[in-house]
A and B are shown apart, each in its own frame.
Chain A
Amino acid sequence: MTDITKDTTATTAEGAKGLIRLSESAARALTTIGGVLTAAGAFLAWTWTSNFPGDLTYYGSPAGLQWLAFTAGLLTVLFSLAGYGVKGLRWLTPTGSTAPIVLSAFAGLAVTWFSLIAIAVELGGVANWVVGGILAGIFSIVPVIGALALPKPGPATQDTGIKATLAAYVAKPSSTKPLPQLPGWQQRGIIAIVIALGLYVFTYGIDTQGGELFSGFLFLAVFGLWALHSAGLLDRFSALTEAHKGYAVTLAFAAAAIFPFTQNNDHDANVGVNILIFGTVALGLNIVVGLTGLLDLGYVAFLGVGAYTAALFSGSAYSTITGFSLPFWAAALAGTAASLVFGVLIGAPTLRLRGDYLAIVTLGFGEIFRITVRNLDGSSGPDITNGPNGIADIPDLSIAGFNFGESHNIAGFTLGRFANYYLLMLIVTVIVVLVFNRASDSRIGRAWVAIREDETAATAMGINGFRVKLIAFALGASLAGLAGSVNAHVSSSVVPDPYVFAGPVAPNSAFLLAAVVLGGMGTVSGPLLGAALLYLIPEKLEFLKEYQLLAFGIALIILMRFRPEGVIANRRRQLEFHEDKDQDPTEPTAPAAPAATAGV
């Protein structure tokens, strides 16, 4: 309880008043009650007809969007109680409770009102709200009022504009309460629980039916994660995973391997395998763009090279190499090797260029690949790739008697075709993650980053810039080729058209690049998450139809405006935040440094 008294004295000393004038105790009560009400509102009927997706017509039994509102309300309650200093909940808010309360209250508001607006728009009018819906709408406003009446956190500034005030409310405080060091098994337990939760949330997101539910899910996910971040919980969790790195990574992959067993619908497994493929390719691109800082706009060509090579050796009837097929491991190696060769061939002349010039030239090479493949059809060139028709009917893989095209029953779970490929692709992803991690944390990886930071200084430190860049280019290309060789079998046909610079369908250079930049350059999980988001959003928001690309562009602009480092910040950037914290202990050492040198 000492914590709150400290809290209040600190804030009143600064004389910070809330945006809405209420006493602090009233504000805190309002947030708690409002959170309960928001959660309770989920148990009311929001509309009268089951025509709205999810059927929100029952009293006492929430469904779909209502569950999301319930979760948001629950979060608000938890953070409010933590704000009271309730024992056992204080760990929820290591950096202070105001920002998480505000954000989770906003999450409830956003989900509830998005649902109400969606009901009104889709069913044709506000008349489709029933009393329960209106009540839920009003309930969700209560915690927001309460939250904004809390004393404004941060230093009292002259700037009292609405924008600056709101920013102060949601800003993450830099000071962290020190928490007791937990025993190792508890730390591991927490990691396991969080990863299980993560798997649940991810599976829920993939399983959502209809754009309305997915949009609501996105609202809750964005505000909820933001609340957890500003509460300092995400930082705490990343510190835990840092301490138990191998354990956390193993668990994360175990969770990923469990995913197909949670799906009874092979379409969702298809979404999963595509996310893995594009995430893996984006990870390869991350070596080139994120680590070495070379803007490659034609990267998808290497995925194409791998896919075409695997398709040619697959024994497909449309392949120009007839009567001959390689086992998968050999085809995958061939795809990797072919991409490697192409990477070197394209890299050798282009990597002498820097910056914009390199981007334009790689863009050109990407297009050259697609057009060449299109024309190698026997009429305008030798018949290798079957022209625009591509190579169809690629047979399903069969490794050691396990046919990937059939459904298998494993321990009572049915794994469909895509689930099989998902598990195969997961192995490939593990390999690529391992390669990325080991390469980036080595002499060569440091040389890549050095070149990204300052090429002139890097060469002056003895780094052969051209050679090191070529290695990055070739490694990135071969990883894409490896993923491509699986991709050919998953989609069972390879045609030139998807390998464009930008397009509405997933594997294109702009998509991959956006996945890297949006997810977080130079990280492992960033591109995987970026690819998942970028693949899921168009997949789920089909109702946007021809506005998909427009919405995609707007979303990118918004994200780059507010979080330019990507969703997952680079380790080096995180380090920067850490330094803010331990600035005090390091300051006194600074004056001592010259004395130390003088002694040398």
Chain B
Amino acid sequence: MTTATETTTKPATPILQATGVIMRFGGLTAVRNVDLTVNSGEIVGLIGPNGAGKTTFFNCLTGLYVPTEGTVAYKGTVLPPKPHLVTNAGIARTFQNIRLFSNMTVLENVLVGRHTRTKEGLFAALVRGPRYHKAEAASRERAMELLEFIGLENKADHLARNLPYGEQRKLEIARALASEPGLLLLDEPTAGMNPQETRATEELVFAIRDQGIAVLVIEHDMRFIFNLCDRVAVLVQGEKLVEGDKETVQGDDRVIAAYLGTPFEGDPGTEEVAEVEAAEANSTTEDER
């Protein structure tokens, strides 16, 4: 992939800086002291087994949860933990379980995403001056552009809930993009998709990155993650285990242990491994004989 060249050509300025984020629910600590930085023009992956706290961490970033400790800064300014202010600052997100406005049309869904970038209030809506019409027309135009970008321009008047699953995922991304974010958070964007759809989503994420939007993505599909991401962070039981490029993460024993479990009870010694190998070698030689 062309990702490496992209990042090196641009000077990496941090877009998102989460420092020391801790989230406790009563006695349960879901996120323990996680630091994460996303630089401009970067696609960063966040992986980890189920229940590792990835979505909780996302919710802390977007203000849906108020983190117990720690700060989240966007382009150097610390964000208040209110979802609408976070979106206003420039962080948009999608949800793990699709949360579209199901009884609104596809176009209306994207228009709602434009909420923070338009300012017309109730009074303007009632008076309907020329400026209102202009702003509304501009919003619609931008929304239609986004629908074209994800390939749903023919379904603008359909109800969101009548879209097939894959298109609902795409619409969620378009809705998030409508707020003109600098950072896009994707929570399992390919869950439940078939390989073709997954590949299409991959292309879509690259296209988004090429527009200058940094992306932080949670995903369980490892091929998807390692194709896509410049950097991957691994979250296990609320703690960040490793962070780095593809090789670093794939080669890390702790990551393998977290996903597959340790092969023996306790720490498997090298002696034991050697023993097993020897035994295997013996058996094969016996067979040949």
Contact = CB atoms under 8 A, between A and B. Distances in A.
Contacts of A456: 64, 83, 99
B36 interface: no
Interface in B103-117: 103-105, 108, 111-116
B159 A449 contact: no
Sorting the interface of chain A by its residue count into under 10, 10 to 19, 20 to 34 or 35 or more gives 35 or more
Interface in A429-459: 435, 438-439, 442-447, 449-450, 453-454, 456-459
B62 A439 contact: no
Given A438-B125, A460-B87, A594-B197, A575 B105 contact: yes
Interface stretch (B67-75, B149-157, B251-259, B266-274): B149-157
B122 A598 contact: no
A439 B104 CA distance: 16
Contacts of A463: 84, 112, 115
Interface in A561-590: 570, 572-573, 575-576, 579, 586, 589-590
Contact of B84 (A444, A459, A600): A459
Contact of A443 (B84, B120, B150, B200): B120
A590 B87 CA distance: 31
A588 to B, nearest CB: 10
A465 B126 contact: no
A410 interface: no
Contacts, number: 146
B125 A461 contact: no
Interface stretch (B2-10, B11-19, B162-170, B224-232): B162-170
Nearest to A578: B157
Contacts of B207: 597, 600
Contacts of A439: 122, 125-126
B32 interface: no
A572 B104 CA distance: 7
A374 B121 CA distance: 37
Given A443-B118, A572-B105, A575-B105, A457 B159 contact: no
Interface string A253-290: 00000000000000000000000000000000000000
A441 to B, nearest CB: 8
Contacts of B113: 461-462
A443 B111 CA distance: 8
A462 B103 contact: no
B88 interface: yes
B83 A597 contact: no
A130 interface: no
B126 A575 contact: no
A579 B112 contact: no
Given A439-B122, A454-B101, A462 B88 contact: yes
Interface string B200-212: 1001100100000
B205 to A, nearest CB: 10
Contacts of A550: none
Contact of A600 (B103, B149, B196, B197): B149
A457 B95 contact: yes
B175 interface: yes
A579 B161 CA distance: 11
B102 A453 contact: yes
A594 B200 contact: yes
Task: Determine which residue in A463, A471, A595 has the highest number of CB atoms from chain B within 10 A of its CB, and name it.
Answer: A463
Contacts of B24: none
A338 to B, nearest CB: 19
Interface string B175-207: 110010000000000000000110110011001
Contact of A597 (B102, B158, B170): B170
Given A446-B104, A449-B104, A475 B112 contact: no
A464 interface: yes
A464 B116 CA distance: 9
A456 B63 CA distance: 11
A457 B203 contact: no
A462 B157 CA distance: 23
B93 interface: yes
A570 B159 CA distance: 12
A593 interface: yes
Given A446-B112, A593-B152, A598-B203, A462 B84 contact: yes
A463 B116 CA distance: 7
Contact of B154 (A471, A475, A589): A589
B163 to A, nearest CB: 9
Given A450-B101, A453-B104, A579-B162, A445 B125 contact: yes
A442 B158 CA distance: 19
B128 interface: yes
A162 interface: no
A92 B115 CA distance: 45
Contact of B93 (A460, A464, A590): A460
Nearest to B175: A461
Contacts of A458: 101, 112
Contacts of A465: 84
Nearest to B62: A460
Given A438-B126, A462-B116, A572-B104, A444 B121 contact: yes
Nearest to A589: B154
Contact of B151 (A435, A438, A461, A596): A596
B89 to A, nearest CB: 9
B242 interface: no
Contacts of A435: 126
Nearest to B176: A461
B52 interface: no
Contacts of A573: 103
Contacts of B116: 461-462
B79 interface: no
A598 B170 CA distance: 13
A292 to B, nearest CB: 12
Given A446-B104, A457-B95, A460-B87, A475 B122 contact: yes
B104 to A, nearest CB: 6
A593 B167 CA distance: 9
Interface string A121-164: 00000000000000000000000000000000000000000000
Contacts of A598: 199-200, 203
A575 B203 contact: no
A179 B235 CA distance: 62
A575 B108 CA distance: 13
B100 interface: yes
Nearest to B204: A597
B210 to A, nearest CB: 9
A596 to B, nearest CB: 4
A46 to B, nearest CB: 49
In this complex, the member of B116, B122, B152 whose beta carbon has the largest number of chain A beta carbons within 10 angstroms is B122
Contacts of A462: 83-84, 87-88, 113, 115-116, 179
Contacts of A595: 151
B103 A453 contact: yes
Contact of B83 (A444, A449, A454, A459): A459
Interface of B: 62, 64, 82-84, 87-88, 92-93, 95, 99-105, 108, 111-116, 118, 120-122, 124-126, 128, 132, 136, 139, 149-152, 154-155, 157-159, 162, 164, 166-167, 170, 175-176, 179, 196-197, 199-200, 203-204, 207
The 9 A-B residue pairs with the shortest CB-CB distance, nearest first, are A462-B116, A442-B125, A462-B87, A596-B151, A453-B101, A594-B200, A457-B99, A593-B151, A459-B83
14 contacts: A443-B120, A446-B104, A446-B112, A447-B112, A453-B103, A457-B101, A460-B83, A460-B95, A572-B105, A575-B159, A593-B151, A593-B152, A598-B199, A598-B200
Interface of A: 435, 438-439, 442-447, 449-450, 453-454, 456-465, 471, 475, 570, 572-573, 575-576, 579, 586, 589-590, 592-598, 600
